[in-house]
Every structure is written in C-alpha cells, then in structure tokens.
Homo-oligomer: A and B are copies of this chain.
Amino acid sequence: MKATAMAHTNIALIKYWGKRDETLFLPMNSSLSITLDKFYTTTTVEFCTHLYEDVFILNGSLTNEAETQKVTRFLNIVRKMSGKELFAIVKSNNKVPTAAGFASSASGYAALAAASTKAIGLDIDNRTLSKIARLGSGSACRSIYGGFVEWQKGEEEDGSDSFAKPIIAHDSWDISILSVLITANQKKVLSREGMKRVVETSPFYSSWPIEAEKDLIIAKKAIQERDFDELGRVTEANALKMHATTLGANPPFLYWQSATIDVIQKVQELRSIGLHAYFTIDAGPNVKIICLPQDEQAVKESLHSLPAIRDVYSSRIGPGVQLLA
C-alpha cells in the first residue's frame, strides 16, 4: 500500500488559458508543453489502516489545513476508483524553486496521481493517469509524459477525452529552456483568478480558443519538422495573445513587470544578432526562453547583464512520470 513517484514540471508553448469546467479542469483549448529535466516533485503515498485523516508532509513539514484538504480532495477520487476507504500519509519533496515563483502544481499532482494510484493497487495506463492528474491541476496532465506533450481539450462533458499525449520523446530533440526569475515590485494576480476574470469579462477572450487551435497546428508541424525558429515564433505569438486578453478584462490587469519587457527586448535583440532564442510568459512576471543548446551560454550571459534579473535556471527536455518504488 505504498509507492513513490517522480514527475517533472512542464512549460507550455501553446498556453492552457481558460476553463470550460471549473471542477473537472476542462480547458477551453488544447495546449502543448515541454517537460523539463531539472524541476521535479518526488512523492511517496502510503495508505494505512488506523489513520483517521490524510497527513501531508511537504518538504519535511506538515502543511496547513487548506493544503491538506486539497490533497484529501484529490485522494478521494483515487479512493473512489479503487473502492478502498483508507487514509494516507503523503510525503512530497519539491525540487522546484517555488519560492522563486515557479509553479509546482503540475509536477506535484502528476507525482501524487502516479504514487497514489499505484499505492492503492490500481492498474492503470498513462492516459488514465493523465486524466486523474488533470483533476488536481489542469497542467499536471501534461507532466505524465516527457518530451513534447499535447493536452487535447476533448469534447465530452465528463472530461473522458481530455488528456495528454506525447508528441515526440524527450531524447529526440535537444532544446535548452531558461527560466528567468525577475524582481517583482507588485503582488501578482493569481493564475486561476486571472484566468476566470478574463474568460468572464474580456472581449478578446472569444478569439483565444480559435487562435490557440491554429497555433497548435503550426507548433506541432514545427516539432515534427524540427523547425526551431518556426516553433519559437508561434510560441512567442501565442504567449503574447494570452497576455493581450488580460488587458481587456474588467478590471484590466497585467502579469508583467517592467523587467518582463526588458527580457522580451533582450531576446529580440539576441535574435537580431543571429541567436536562436524565443520567449514565453505564463501567468506571472517571469519569462521562459527556449533556445538552441549552442546558444544557451550566450543567452544566459546577456540576461545577466540586465539589472532586474534575479536568477536564470537552465533545463533540457525531461522524461515523464516514473515509479521509483
């Protein structure tokens, strides 16, 4: 009744932006991501008799009630599937710099899904695992797979056809991903809250799912053809369109800080001198850059010359979820 799993975080090149179902984490549009090799969560789940509630130990410390409740809500799904009514001790270690503004929910729920289903004795395939992980956090469904991954939005109301699928494996194309941590002056708008406000109030949102589906086709073709510049251009365009929708929300908001624009301009400048580097931005001020491995060092050095950059983390493409024990 015990299992350990490890899952890596992912960054979306075609963004997941807007839910059509808030409870089942069903997205308005299909998305596409790269799984990273450097940031991951390792989670051990042990279902025990003589336990009267779930216990969640994150990075060595017991968590507060709200955090534990999220885990309990997720484990309820797994308990229901297995028909077993046992509580669990969950030990999770993030090797994700969350304090530095990086999200751990994708790798966290992917690892929790794999470890908890295994521990409770369910024998399921990765596709089902992807759907279960999705119920914890939308983007977690993509972290089940390594390499380039598509989350197909699906059409069904119950979410049965909303899951991730691998496009190409993590060792079939070598790409470098830089996560640029900038100094933030203002409190951020939460990702889920911002997404909801945009869907409900932004006049630009109606174009988003159409644009995202178009961009996805371009991105998948670029991946199949290993056309890095084409993939980079559509990655940037897609991120900018996502952020455009926030400017039309009521009240309007922007996830960017001034340093976000400094990084955007630096990347554009690097391209003008021949480097292959493109940016993407999630629901926050930090910027991720994809570049060819040969250009990584030059890109990193030029980023460090910007005053408001706190740190730059490099990754390569990582593998999917793994059972460790």
Residues in chain A within 8 A of chain B (CB atoms): 185-186, 203-204, 206-207, 210-211, 233, 236-237, 240-241, 243-245, 247-248, 250-252, 254, 256-262, 264-265, 268
Contact = CB atoms under 8 A, between A and B. Distances in A.
Nearest to A211: B203
A262 B258 contact: yes
Given A203-B210, A207-B203, A207-B204, A248 B258 contact: no
Contacts of A260: 258, 261
Closest 4 CB pairs of A and B: A244-B247, A258-B258, A244-B244, A203-B207
Contacts of A233: 251
Nearest to A208: B203
- When all copies of this chain in the complex are counted, the total is 2
A265 B207 contact: no
B236 A247 contact: no
Given A203-B210, A258-B261, A262-B258, A248 B252 contact: no
A207 B211 CA distance: 15
B248 A211 contact: yes
Contacts of A206: 207
Contacts of A203: 207, 210-211, 241
Given A258-B260, A258-B262, 17 more contacts: A185-B265, A186-B265, A203-B210, A206-B207, A207-B207, A207-B248, A211-B248, A240-B247, A240-B254, A241-B248, A243-B247, A244-B245, A244-B248, A254-B261, A254-B264, A257-B261, A258-B261
